[in-house]
């Protein structure tokens, strides 16, 4: 027993503390991050929790973070990530989830030339996408392409090669038609082409005045001397059936 008159001193109980399961440092329990959805006691210090959040976000493509507790599958909420992550990591996470939310909108378009994106409401009928950040233009139907001055149908027609093939066929048909309607004058040193639209086959070049047969190109000076036998054998005038 204590001597009579001796005052009793009360001992102060120290706040409870716990070692961090990651780094092993001792911390007050009240300072350990505690998640609302977890049923287990907090086990990781704030510094190790921040490192865990950073590693989880980078490993999950900035989508989600699980509790650092062993075998705990509770995911941190947006506000818990903001509370326990570093400022830099949270800003990257916040920017990513904003981009992801925009991308879920079917009317949202990302610019292919920069990191800017915007709502594009005119759809397929208004296929021009002009970036509000850098001014880059692109067709939302034919990605990475802007066919200035062409509709989508015209672009497909040209890029498929059909336009070039059709143009070549038209040129060949035109040459064939020209060959049927016009011929080079057979006169000596004459370089002009003569077009025959109608009339007889006795032609006279308006440039050199050379006279010739439209069918076989024989010289009419010879015809006047020899008669129709001057025409080529395969010419109808050679037989005298055409006069």
pLDDT in tens, 75-96: 999 999 999 999 999 999 998 8
Asked if pLDDT for residue 238 goes beyond 70, the answer is yes
pLDDT in tens, 144-161: 677 877 888 888 888 888
Asked if pLDDT for residue 27 goes beyond 50, the answer is yes
Asked if pLDDT for residue 243 goes beyond 60, the answer is no
Average pLDDT in the 215-227 region?
A: 92
Give the separation between CA 154 and CA 221, rounded to whole angstroms: 56
Better pLDDT: 204 or 123: 204
pLDDT in tens, 99-130: 888 877 878 877 877 878 887 776 555 677 88
pLDDT in tens, 29-64: 999 999 999 999 999 999 999 999 999 999 988 889
Cα–Cα separations (whole angstroms), residue 129 to 23, 110, 134, 142, 146 = 52, 10, 12, 11, 9
Q: Are 43 and 21 in contact (CB under 8 A)?
A: yes
Angle between helices 87-103 and 46-59 (to 10 degrees): 30
Asked if pLDDT for residue 185 goes beyond 90, the answer is yes
Tokens of 39: 């049923």
Asked if pLDDT for residue 178 goes beyond 80, the answer is no
- Closest C-alpha among 86, 71, 82, 79 to residue 38: 71
Please name the helix (run of DSSP H) or strand (run of DSSP E) that holds residue 120, with its range, or none.
none
Domains of the chain (ranges, CATH numbers): 17-101 (3.30.40.10), 106-159 (no CATH), 182-238 (no CATH)
- Closest C-alpha among 213, 217, 218 to residue 243: 213
Cα end-to-end distance, the chain, whole Å: 160
pLDDT in tens, 156-177: 888 888 888 888 888 887 777 7
């Amino acid at each position: 027993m204590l001597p009579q008159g001796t005052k009793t001193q009360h001992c102060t109980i120290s706040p409870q503390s716990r070692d961090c399961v990651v780094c092993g440092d001792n911390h007050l329990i009240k300072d350990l991050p505690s998640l609302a959805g977890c049923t287990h006691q907090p086990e990781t210090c704030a510094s190790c929790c921040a490192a865990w959040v950073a590693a989880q976000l980078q490993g999950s493509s900035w989508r989600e973070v699980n509790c650092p507790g062993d075998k705990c599958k509770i995911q941190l909420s947006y506000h818990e990530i903001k509370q326990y992550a570093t400022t830099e990591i949270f800003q990257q996470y916040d920017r990513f989830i904003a981009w992801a939310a925009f991308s879920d909108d079917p009317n949202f378009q990302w610019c292919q030339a920069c990191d800017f994106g915007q709502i594009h409401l005119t759809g397929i009928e208004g296929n021009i996408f002009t970036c509000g950040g850098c001014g880059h233009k692109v067709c939302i139907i034919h990605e990475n392409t802007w066919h200035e001055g062409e509709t989508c149908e015209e672009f497909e027609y040209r890029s498929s090669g059909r336009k070039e093939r059709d143009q070549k066929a038209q040129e060949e048909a035109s040459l064939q038609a020209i060959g049927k309607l016009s011929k080079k004058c057979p006169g000596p040193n004459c370089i002009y082409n003569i077009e025959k639209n109608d009339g007889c086959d006795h032609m006279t070049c308006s440039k050199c005045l050379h006279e010739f047969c439209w069918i076989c190109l024989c010289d009419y000076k010879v015809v006047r001397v020899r008669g129709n036998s001057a025409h080529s054998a395969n010419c109808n005038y050679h037989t005298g059936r055409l006069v």
